[in-house]
Chain A
Amino acid sequence: MHVDSINNGIVIDHITAGKGLQLYNLLGLELQDCTIAIIKNVASRKMGRKDIIKIDADISVNTDILGYVDPGVTVNIIKGGEIVEKKNISLPNKLVNVIFCKNPRCITSTEQELSQIFNLTNEKNRVYRCAYCEAKFEEK
């Protein structure tokens, strides 16, 4: 299968196989008018299988979302058909409006215009705590 290379835009590479569509939705890419390709299950020497998202426009993507959902992805910035910047995305130290506090005692439960801020308090165990009430974020 062949997908055209892009001239100016972004390639999100090394996405864990199966997470491409999730990232597409979380990044709000459905709102973009440009050409976007989600390529699933690409053979990878390093990962076995991986997903790739190619965005044919110079837009900004939220690297906090990328780092939180799939640390280890690579963001390649393409200009004039060349990779001009390669960013390795790791777990972000701070998340703003990516995840939401579920503690009913937290100030964010009543003042919903506040930014939802979480800090990474334990990198090894991937623990994020609400900046306001320090409640641990639980995925489920």
Chain B
Amino acid sequence: MSRSLIDIRDLSTTEIEELIRTAEDIIADPKKYSEICHGKKLATLFFEPSTRTRLSFEAAMYELGGQVLSMSNAASSSAAKGESVADTAKTVSCYADIIAMRHPKEGAPLVAAMNASIPVINAGDGGHNHPTQTLADLCTISREKGRLDNLTVGLCGDLKFGRTVHSLIEALSRYTGIKFVLISPVELKLPSYVKKDVIQAHGLEYSQTTDLEAVMPELDILYMTRVQRERFFNEEDYLRLKDSYILTPEKLKGAKDDLCIMHPLPRVNEISVAIDDDPRACYFKQVLNGKYMRMALIMKLLEIEV
């Protein structure tokens, strides 16, 4: 079985730091990497609508000089005819060198990795994992703050279903001196097993609040999230909770000058556009860093060295 990335815990902190270093080197000298994946093919298997993640993977492969095989949409795929994930993975292994898979069912990319003969990257499996988003987040924190330890990290919005939040907590919990500030409506609180099995298991501090402005002055990082309609079984609950937190310039008044405002995007209205020109807004940098980290990851899993 090839090495795959299904969960951020599949990578050690040393490997994550190596990926960040590779990403920084790509940023410094993109030409050095522009043909490094020549002759290699990435298959993007997206069984759930996604624009940015798929485009990010495809841009990453093209910028490495590789090629991309892609299906136009999930409705026209063999999965719509009832093909299993295992069979799809075995079939695509005959065509491509690496797979990036998004699937609405949790665990589908793991099934693909168990059956493919090529590396599989989880590009999001329902509300479960999205490790390349976490790589983008870690790269952004590292580049903006110069470190991944000793930070007070505010996580705001949907902490219950937000997979990016859970993965980021998993990843940052392996560093020392991290303090999490969990800001959410009561109904969307971080699940207790994440608090117990991850944050407390690593001996880290956390606090919980519903009041974003009250905790703003202590934050080094503010990670905003969207309340996602597709994670709710009940439309009423979604409508009631979707506008719980909207970040505006007024709410930033007490914030540190070097606060780093992040969001996995797409945003709906959680961050006012008036904040986009604030130097503390890092969410579009996150998008760019995501592409560089995906480039570094593709190289790593294909075992290509410069």
B-contacting residues of A (Cβ < 8 Å)?
A: 103, 105-111, 113-114, 121-122, 130-136
Q: How far is the CA of A135 from the CA of B129 in the complex (A)?
A: 12
Q: Which residues of A contact B110 (CB under 8 A)?
A: 107, 131-132
Given contacts A131-B110, A132-B110, contact A107 B105 (CB under 8 A): yes
Q: How far is the CA of A106 from the CA of B104 in the complex (A)?
A: 9
* Interface pair A108/B84, CB less than 8 Å apart: no
Chain B 104-122 against A: per-residue CB contact (8 Å), 1 yes, 0 no?
1111101100000000000
| B126 sits at the interface (CB 8 A) | yes
| B197 sits at the interface (CB 8 A) | yes
Q: How far is the CA of A109 from the CA of B107 in the complex (A)?
A: 11
Q: Which residues of A contact B125 (CB under 8 A)?
A: 107
Chain B 229-258 against A: per-residue CB contact (8 Å), 1 yes, 0 no?
000000000000000000000000000000
The B interface, classified by DSSP as helix, strand, loop or mixed, is: mixed
* Interface pair B106/A107, CB less than 8 Å apart: yes
Q: Which residues of B contact A122 (CB under 8 A)?
A: 197
Q: How far is the CA of A108 from the CA of B114 in the complex (A)?
A: 14
Q: How far is the CA of A39 from the CA of B108 in the complex (A)?
A: 45
* Interface pair A105/B111, CB less than 8 Å apart: no
Q: List which B95-144 residues lie within 8 A (CB) of chain A.
A: 103-108, 110-111, 125-128
Q: How far is the CA of A87 from the CA of B111 in the complex (A)?
A: 33
From residue A117, how far is it (CB to closest CB) to chain B in Å?
10
| B85 sits at the interface (CB 8 A) | yes
The A interface, classified by DSSP as helix, strand, loop or mixed, is: loop
* Interface pair B127/A105, CB less than 8 Å apart: yes
Report the 7 A-B pairs with minimum CB-CB distance, sorted nearest first: A132-B107, A133-B106, A107-B105, A107-B107, A107-B108, A133-B107, A105-B106
Chain B 255-281 against A: per-residue CB contact (8 Å), 1 yes, 0 no?
000000000000000000000000000
* Interface pair A111/B84, CB less than 8 Å apart: yes
* Interface pair A107/B111, CB less than 8 Å apart: yes
Interface centre among B105, B110, B193 (most CB of A within 10 A): B105
Q: How far is the CA of A103 from the CA of B105 in the complex (A)?
A: 10
* Interface pair B105/A105, CB less than 8 Å apart: yes
From residue A78, how far is it (CB to closest CB) to chain B in Å?
38
Please give the number of chain B residues whose Cβ is less than 8 angstroms from any Cβ of chain A in the complex: 17
* Interface pair A107/B127, CB less than 8 Å apart: no
Q: Which residues of B contact A131 (CB under 8 A)?
A: 107, 110
Closest to B109 in A: A107
* Interface pair A132/B197, CB less than 8 Å apart: no
Q: Which residues of B contact A108 (CB under 8 A)?
A: 107
Additional 8 contacts, C-beta under 8 A, given A107-B125, A132-B108, A133-B107: A105-B104, A107-B85, A111-B86, A113-B84, A114-B111, A122-B197, A130-B107, A131-B107
* Interface pair A106/B197, CB less than 8 Å apart: no
Q: How far is the CA of A110 from the CA of B125 in the complex (A)?
A: 14
Contact pick for A105, options B85, B86, B126, B193, CB 8 Å: B126
Contact pick for A109, options B84, B105, B128, CB 8 Å: B105
Q: How far is the CA of A113 from the CA of B193 in the complex (A)?
A: 29
Q: How far is the CA of A122 from the CA of B196 in the complex (A)?
A: 11
Q: Which residues of A contact B128 (CB under 8 A)?
A: 105, 133-134
CB<8 Å pairs between A and B, sample of 11 = A103-B106, A105-B105, A105-B128, A107-B108, A108-B107, A110-B105, A111-B85, A111-B105, A114-B111, A132-B106, A135-B106
